[in-house]
Structure formats: C-alpha cells, structure tokens
Amino acid sequence: MKRFKLLPLMFATLLELGLAACGEAPQDSQNAAPAAAKIATAVVQIATLPRLYAAPGSVVSDETIHIASRVTGFIQQLPVREGDRIATGALLAQIDPSDLEGAIQQTKAAVKAAETELEDAVRDQARIVELAASGTVATETVRKAQVRRSFAQARKAEAVAARDTARAQLRYTSITSPVDGVVVERHVEPGDLATPGKPLLVIVSDRAVLFETFIPESLVAHIRIGDPASIHIDALSASREGTVVRVVPAGDPVTRRFLVKVAFAEQTGLLSGMFGRAQLRTGEDQSPAIPPRAMVERGGLRGVFEIDDANIARFRWLRTGRETRDWIEVQAGLNGGERIAVSGLDALRDGMPVAPELGTARE
C-alpha cells in the first residue's frame, strides 16, 4: 500500500519542477538585452543658410525680333509660318522689286548725263583758261566756267548717290533672317502691300533664353546681379542653375513689383513661354540644418532619431522649413549640438539601443 501512496507524491513533485522550468525559460528570454544596432551619427550644426524667395515666371527669348520691310512693294513670297524653325540667312519674305529696278535704270541714265555734262564743263574751262592767259577773254568768264564745272561735279555726285541708294533698296526686297530662331507671329500674307515700319513677322532667337520673373519691392534691394539662382521648369520636370543678369530698377506702379531676369547655365530643351519657379537668394539665416538622408517618417510624422547619452535612439518630430538636395532647415525640434542617426534608419525604432559612429550633420 505504501508503494501506491508514493506514486501521486512523486508525480506532483515532477509536475512542479516542470512548471518551474517552463516558467524560467520565458523570463530569461524577456530579460535578454537586444543587440545594439550599428549606425552612423552626425552632430546637428548651426549653419548659415541662404534665405530664398520662390518667384514664378516664364522662359523668354533674350532677342525678340520684329521683321519689317524697308521698302514699299507687294509681297511676292512669304515661305515661313508660325512655328517654323529658321536659320540665319533664310529667306523670310520677297518684295516685288519692279519699281526699284525701274528706279535704278533712271538713276543710271542720270549718272551718265551728269558725267557727260561734267566732261563738257571741264573742256570748256580748260579752253577758257587758255584764252584768258592770252588776254582774249575776261576774268568773269573764267569764273563762270569754274562755277559751271563745280555745278556739274555736284550733279554727278547727286546722281551717283541716287543710283547707289536705289541699288541698296533693291537688296532690301529680299528679307532674310538675322538669327537662328523660331517664327512666332505672321501678320501678312502673299499679295499684301509691305510698307516701311509695318510688321511682317516676329522671330524669337535661339541664341539666348532667359527666365523672367517679378519680385515685390520689399525684396528688390536684396537681389544682386551675379547672384546664383535655381529655376525649376515644370515642363521639363527638372531644375536648371542660373545667374541673375538683370534687375530693372523701375517697378510697376500698380503691382509694385520689379522685373528680374536670370540667365541659364544650360539651355538645352528650353523653349520660350515655359513656366517655372526661380529660387532667388534674398539674405542669410542662422538655423539648425540636417542632411536629407537623416529624415525619416514614423506614424505620418517627419523627424529624426536623436541618440542620447546612453546611446538610445529617440524619435524627434521636426518642423522643417526650406529644403534643398543638400540640406533641410529645422525650425523646431532641434537646437543644434544633438547627435542624430544618418544610416540604418529603416531598422531603427524609438528606444532601441545603438552603437554609433560620429560624423557631422551636413556631411
């Protein structure tokens, strides 16, 4: 009987030992410290950051040429239309040269008549001078011969000038492009009468395009020729670097805005009329700055992981300001001097221990 009484006692003892063993294993697992994540860190610096103003504007041609005729005549040819790309020297319009060709023939006849008259005056003067030497003719006759010769010379010079002018005018009947560019306006058609000053075509040059924008009067004093600028062109989905080349000192009296023009460092793909936004430098600020690679998003909030003295990562929500591809301005959340994580961010969680390597925040 004693043998059977010992069996329940032994079973109970074994059960207690098993439960104790099972209870100790989870407790040891929970108390085990997680491995420290190896990350690179940087110290937040107080940086001198440019104060930028975003100014919307458009790409414009630096050379907009209004083509007009210098002579009067009917338009025989007008081989270009809006949108046509043209090269320097390409024919834009041909004016009927008939009237000018007739004028040239008239002036040629006038030159020949003047030359004949001058030759006759020269011969008469020489003969009269010889007679005067022998005392045959009076001094007054000699003077009149000299006056006639001078008058004939003036008539010849006038006829030659008229001939040369007519020839020059004839060259203007063929109107060619002075630049490489694009035709943007066409105001006449073949058969229309071209007159001096009446616009025929408008061409924008390919040689130079600028970005044109307007800035408020409160900022115009801060814009300087030679200042760098970055222009984002929406149509190209890209930004181009540029330089301020003109600041017009006369503002619009209604809007109180002033014209600023920026030259592009690279003009490939730019067309007149494209919309863009220029980042213009208007001063400097002292603010904490972090590299873009330090920024993370957790729970819909943007911030960084600050590393405390115990090498524990703590998520810090930030309010940011201006951003470039090189730095992000911090308006609230950091004061400068903090250590922040700049690598291994995907695996970091708030409260996680880390093994940091030190750097600088703007590296």
Does 342 map to a domain? yes
Does 8 map to a domain? no
Residue 262 scores a pLDDT above 90 = yes
Tell me: do 73 and 193 sit in the same domain: yes
Owning domain of residue 123 = 97-172
pLDDT digits (tens, 9 = 90+) for 269-283: 888 889 999 999 888
Backbone angles phi, psi at 260, to 5 degrees: -130, 135
Choosing from 152, 172, 192, the residue where a domain stops is 172
Does 14 map to a domain? no
Q: Cα torsion for 111, 117, 121, 123, to the nearest 10°?
A: 100
pLDDT value at residue 299: 83
Tell me: do 216 and 314 sit in the same domain: no
Backbone angles phi, psi at 17, to 5 degrees: -60, -40
Backbone angles phi, psi at 80, to 5 degrees: -120, 155
Does 218 map to a domain? yes
Q: Confidence band (pLDDT; 50, 70, 90) for 226?
A: very high
Does 23 map to a domain? no
The residues that bridge with 263 in the sheet, in sequence order, are: 210, 243
In angstroms, the CA 217 to CA 174 distance is: 47
Q: What is the DSSP letter of 236?
A: G
| Burial (0-12, 13-18, 19+ Cβ within 10 Å), 140 | exposed
Choosing from 172, 190, 223, the residue where a domain stops is 172
User: Which residue is listed with tokens 């001096």?
Assistant: 196
Segment 131-142 shows an average pLDDT of: 79
pLDDT value at residue 358: 58
Lookup: tokens for 259: 């014209």
Is the Cβ–Cβ distance between 60 and 181 less than 8 Å? no
Predicted structure pTM score: 0.55
Is the Cβ–Cβ distance between 291 and 332 less than 8 Å? no
pLDDT digits (tens, 9 = 90+) for 4-55: 443 444 444 443 444 344 444 444 444 555 667 788 888 998 988 888 899 9
pLDDT value at residue 26: 46
What is the number of structural domains in the chain? 4
Is the Cβ–Cβ distance between 155 and 168 less than 8 Å? no
Between 345 and 130, the higher pLDDT residue: 345
- Smallest CA-to-CA distance from 46 within 335, 342, 358, 340 is with 335
Identify the three-state secondary structure at position 204. strand
Segment 129-135 shows an average pLDDT of: 78
Is the Cβ–Cβ distance between 118 and 152 less than 8 Å? yes
